[in-house]
Amino acid sequence: MSIQIICVTGMSGAGRSTALRVLEDLGFYCVDNLPPSLASELVKISEAGGIDRIAMGMDVRTGTEGIEPMLEAFSDSGHSPDVLFLDCSVPVLIRRYSESRRPHPLAPAGDVPSGIHKEKERLSSLRARATYVLDTTDLSVHDLKRAVIDWFKEHTDSPTMVTRILSFGFKYGVPMDADLVFDLRFLPNPYFIPELKPKTGLEKEVSDYVLSTEGAQQLLKDLEPLLLNTLPRYQAEGKSYLTIAIGCTGGKHRSVAMTEELQKILERAGHHIRVAHRDVHRSKLKK
């Protein structure tokens, strides 16, 4: 099995930990401060466990001399590793260390500028072979997160934001994790039609009834451009998860049918959508 491997390295204080957290949100199994000598074992364990994405954080503390042979070994075994190198100007690194009051790994006695220059020399060959060099001198934490996501998007077809549409019943409460909430209680309710009452919005008879109404048709016309416009903007902002909650009274008929239809619309537009129906069978539970 070919594993996607990203070696995250660069100058201490340039944002390696932040970059690793972003990759973790994107589905990578992340290990920081990993000695290069242990990397092959990590890959073997990952293969055995079905893990297909690994991000390894490495810097001068783990020994830079072993990183390049490690990368060559991965390439020879068919894994094609990428190197994300985080760089930063010396003055900004000095300021960051001053603000954090942490010792530089190559300047335990406190001579931070000297430690930074030593580190630059040791990492120069690794920087030269990097897949992507990201200069974080003028980047905030949020800017860095967006930059890593943009780079990742250019190198993979995998979605960078998990979008979920969740149907629910207002009588059971609004979902705590909802980012967007839409209320469908203005639509005609199949609950009051005897032959539809015991069914759910997952069944064709109920779905056809709900979606054929003028209100549902107009809502879909309004929601489609709204969501197609906002989903890419949430993703560009660096959001990892987005939950769109669709509610009706009991969460059994109208919200379920609309959730299923929205999934079809958004997936036709190229979005990967997960669907969940929180309350669709709640009325059947024993009280």
CATH number at residue 26: 3.40.50.300
What number is the average pLDDT over the span 165-189?
Answer: 94
**Domain endpoint, select from 117, 138, 154:** 154
Domain count for the chain: 2
Co-location of 14 and 143 in the same domain: yes
d(CA 162, CA 259): 16
pLDDT above 90: percentage of residues in the chain = 43
Average per-residue pLDDT for the chain? 87
Same domain, 182 and 253: yes
Both 91 and 193 in a single domain?
no
The residues, any chain, with a CB within 8 Å of residue 52's CB and separated by 6 or more, are 1, 2, 3, 4, 46
Q: Pick from 102, 124, 154: which residue ends a domain?
A: 154
Are 9 and 150 found together in one domain?
A: yes
Same domain, 128 and 171: no
Is-above-0.75 flag for pTM?
no
191 shares a domain with 144: no
Kindly state the average pLDDT of the residues 78-82: 81
DSSP codes of every residue in 258-282: HHHHHHHHHHHTT--EEEEESSTTG
What is the average per-residue pLDDT within 147-153? 81
User: Which residues on adjacent β-strands are paired with residue 5?
Assistant: 54
Task: Examine the pLDDT at 238 and tell me if it is beyond 50.
Answer: yes
From 128, 154, 180, give the residue that closes a domain.
154
- Give the length of the chain: 287
Residue 285 pLDDT more than 50? no
* One domain, residues 236 and 179: yes
Percent of the chain with pLDDT over 70: 94
Same domain assignment for residues 267 and 144: no
| Residues 61 and 184 placed together within one structural domain of the fold | no
| Residue type, position 261, single letter | E
| Same domain? 206 vs 256 | yes
What is the token pair recorded at 171?
Answer: 């009588």
Q: Are residues 107 and 175 in the same domain?
A: no
Integer Cα distance of 32 and 30 in angstroms:
7
166 and 254 together in one domain: yes
**Structural domain span for residue 12:** 4-154
